[in-house]
Amino acid sequence: MANPAQLSFQDAASPLMEELLYFHDHAMLLILIISGFVFLVITGLVTSKTWDYLAMDSEMLESVWTVLPAIFLVFVAIPSLRILYLMDEIDNPHITIKTIGHQWYWSYEYTDYYELQFDSYMLPTEDLATGSFRLLDVDNRMVIPVTTPLRVLLTAEDVLHSWAIPALGVKADAVPGRLNQVTFMTSLMGTFYGQCSEICGANHSFMPIVVESVPLDAFEFWTFLMVKDA
């Protein structure tokens, strides 16, 4: 989850988020280089007549000014396209979970593992246990096994929603009448928090998402209890 006064991203909890963080650092380095170069040129134009002459009459400077942006775009495009393909890759997911957005809660269906389905509502403040997070915790968490390839199918029953877990690098729209999908795998155990990222109505900020990554045997036991109670 995000912390007060946090300036950077949340720690990566999936290989996909690790790649996104690497790309962010790579792009920021290029931005710093470009900003430094532009600042150097502007400073030279302001303080030196030689720079002013070069800027007005130098074909070499015009060529550099044209070629350098193209080179920087290549350095941005190659890793960007790589990550886009990684995000769309479907590598034999072991579990498929259907997620349905409602006003204002989520439903989860573990369709091809167990006939297991449940709703997930935000916990009211008066029901929070010690150590729980206000506006982020839910009554039924989406439990998944760690280091297991997953596919999440997304749709909505009423209006547009968006299923987003920052620590996992996952964000996809839930659109009424169509299915979107995201694939990911958690690289460590833990509890990861997210919220609907689409303005879906008056209670938009009150439909959080909680994903709990546990060992496979704990996941098997959880599914057994959920099916038994159902």
Residue 153 contacts residue 96 (beta carbons within 8 Å): yes
Higher pLDDT, 226 or 174: 174
Taken in order of first residue, the domains within the chain and their CATH numbers are 15-88 (1.10.287.90), 95-229 (2.60.40.420)
119-154 per-position pLDDT tens digit: 999 999 888 888 888 999 999 999 999 999 999 999
Model confidence, pTM:
0.83
d(CA 75, CA 63): 19
d(CA 105, CA 100): 9
* CB neighbour list of residue 94: distance below 8 Å, 6 or more residues apart: 145, 148, 149, 150
Residue 27: both structure tokens together: 């792009």
Judge whether residue 97 has pLDDT over 90: yes
Higher pLDDT, 56 or 186: 186
